[in-house]
Amino acid sequence: MATLRDIRTRIASVKSTKQITNAMKMVSAAKLRRATEAAMSARPWQETLTATLQRVASGSGEIEHPLLESHGSVKSVLLVVVSTDRGLCGGFNGTLLRQADVWLKAQQAMDVSGAVHADGKVRALRVRTFGKKAREFFKARSYTVEGSRIEITPAGLSAEVQALSDVLVAGFSLPADDAGRYDEVYVAYNQFKNTLTQIPTFVRVLPLSIDAAADAPAGGSGADYVYEPKGAAILNTLLPLYLRTLLLQCFLETGAGEQAARMTAMDNATRNASDLIKSLTLDYNRGRQAAITKELIEIVSGAEAL
Amino acid sequence: MPQLEVRIVTPRAILLQTEAEGVQAPGEIGEFGVLPGHIPFVTTLKPGVVVVHGAGGVAGVTRRFNVGVGFVEAGPDRVTVLVETCEEVLGSATAAH
């Protein structure tokens, strides 16, 4: 049985753990606000860009551009996994990485047209990771990891996205017989739904898909626009911008989601610590009372014996 | 005098949202200007300087912005400049005498 002294030490240690988790929760809450602001401030840009692309798409009828075109048979697939550097954020990374593993296994079982193949191993699968958690996860597994980037600061994010999109576009544009070519590129990231929910999401970024706007775009008279330069030339600028926007969005949502997940996890930890302290304190007081009672009995029975 | 509604948007923020008399921008196929009543058009930008004339609806106030790659969507009464990077040229706001 634990002595009173043991319980006292235990209470002290749980208390200091609680202080730490509570502090981490506060820090995450502050960082979450900044991260959601960053994600929000990217929105006007994104909406205008998407609207313009849709207008180009619906205005000029058939649009053609190498980045929009499917390669037909899919021989190689790249998965970009966006995780975080630090843990202590609940199942945030774990869920995503486990699903990425399942996703890759499913891809492995497909042939070039996407049908499930008996033997599998027809598609070449490659992985690019962001964040330490994804790097550790794939290190222990037998996938081809092309590149790993860690410790991406908010300030360095634009450059990182730029570099990634350059790699993707270059790989996607290689000739069909080149071993380094990507036929399809997907991004796995945690979609930031709200503070409590982040959804592991797999999104195809190449070939890009732009749905012609079903509804009339805001501002109306979409077809009357004059484009300079015309057709594919303007897409040469707009599509890479669009790709970068998609990628940036994945990173920003991961950033916001990480803080939200950590905040929730640390809130739970703090609450658990409080519960533990309460029950330990109860044990301690009970033990102390028992000791006092025992001593009293000893004194009383000692007095009676005289 | 009719005014243009000018917006300069980057992935990080809306940098400028104001009324103006006219906008000059470095289009990929040549520098161009937009005044109220311009036909609707979309063009790509190369890195350069975007000049906003009569910014804030005050005649003679000119503001300059260094911009990176992006594009412009111009309509009869509004101009939206979308660029990846943008910074106002310091001390560029000049008032008329």
Which CATH number does the domain housing residue B70 bear? 2.60.15.10
* CB neighbourhood size of A105 (10 A): 11
Mean pLDDT of A216-237: 65
Instruction: Reply yes or no on whether the pLDDT at A8 is more than 70.
Output: yes
Q: Is there a contact between A192 and A89 (Cβ–Cβ < 8 Å)?
A: no
Instruction: Reply yes or no on whether the pLDDT at A268 is more than 90.
Output: yes
Instruction: Convert A10-44 to b/e letters by CB count within 10 Å (16 or more is b).
Output: bbeebeebbeebbebbeebbebbeebbebbebbeb
pLDDT on residue A274: 96
Domain count along chain B: 1
- Asked if residue B95 belongs to a domain, the reply is no
What whole-number percentage of chain B has pLDDT above 70?
A: 92
Q: Mind telling me the catalytic residues of A?
A: 89
pLDDT on residue A270: 96
pLDDT, greater one: B67 or A55: B67
- Asked if residue B32 belongs to a domain, the reply is yes
Contacts of B82 (CB under 8 A, 6+ apart): A45, A48, A49, A52, A241, B9, B10, B70, B71, B72, B73
- Asked if residue B39 belongs to a domain, the reply is yes
| Mean pLDDT, chain B, whole residue set | 85
Q: Tell me whether A29 touches chain B (CB under 8 Å).
A: no
A60 confidence band (pLDDT: 50, 70, 90): low
Closest residue to A48, CB basis, from B44, B69, B80: B80
- Asked if residue B70 belongs to a domain, the reply is yes
Mean pLDDT of A107-129: 77
pLDDT on residue A17: 95
Distance to chain B for A68, nearest Cα, Å? 19
pLDDT on residue A151: 87
Residue contact B29–A229, C-beta within 8 A: yes
- Asked if residue B77 belongs to a domain, the reply is yes
Mean pLDDT of B70-91: 85
**CB < 8 Å & 24+ apart, contacts of A175-184:** A176/A71, A181/A75, A181/A76, A182/A76, A182/A77, A182/A78, A182/A126, A182/A206, A183/A71, A183/A73, A183/A74, A183/A75, A183/A76, A183/A77, A184/A71, A184/A74, A184/A77, A184/A78
pLDDT on residue A25: 95
Query: Which residues of chain B neighbour A52 with C-beta distances below 8 Å?
Result: 42, 71, 73, 82
- Asked if residue B71 belongs to a domain, the reply is yes
Query: Which residues of chain A neighbour B43 with C-beta distances below 8 Å?
Result: 227-229, 234
- Mutant choice from B83, B84, B86 vs A, greatest count of A C-beta within 10 A: B84
Closest residue to A248, CB basis, from B11, B42, B75: B11
* A254 and A278 inside one domain: no
Question: How far apart are alpha carbons A280 and A271 in whole angstroms?
Answer: 14
Domain extent at residue B23: 4-88
- Asked if residue B96 belongs to a domain, the reply is no
Query: Which residues of chain A neighbour B14 with C-beta distances below 8 Å?
Result: 41, 44
Domain count along chain A: 2
- Hey, which residues 9-48 in chain B have their CB within 8 Å of chain A? 9-14, 27-29, 39-44
Q: Is there a contact between A187 and A80 (Cβ–Cβ < 8 Å)?
A: yes
* A66 and A172 inside one domain: yes
Return the residue of B nearest to A35 by Cα: B12
Residue contact A228–B73, C-beta within 8 A: no
CA atoms within 13 A on the CB side of A193: 7
- Asked if residue B35 belongs to a domain, the reply is yes
- Omega before residue B26 within 30° of 0, cis: no
Domain extent at residue A289: 4-21+267-305
Instruction: Reply yes or no on whether the pLDDT at A210 is more than 80.
Output: no
Query: Which residues of chain B neighbour A57 with C-beta distances below 8 Å?
Result: none
* CB neighbourhood size of A234 (10 A): 23
ipTM: 0.77
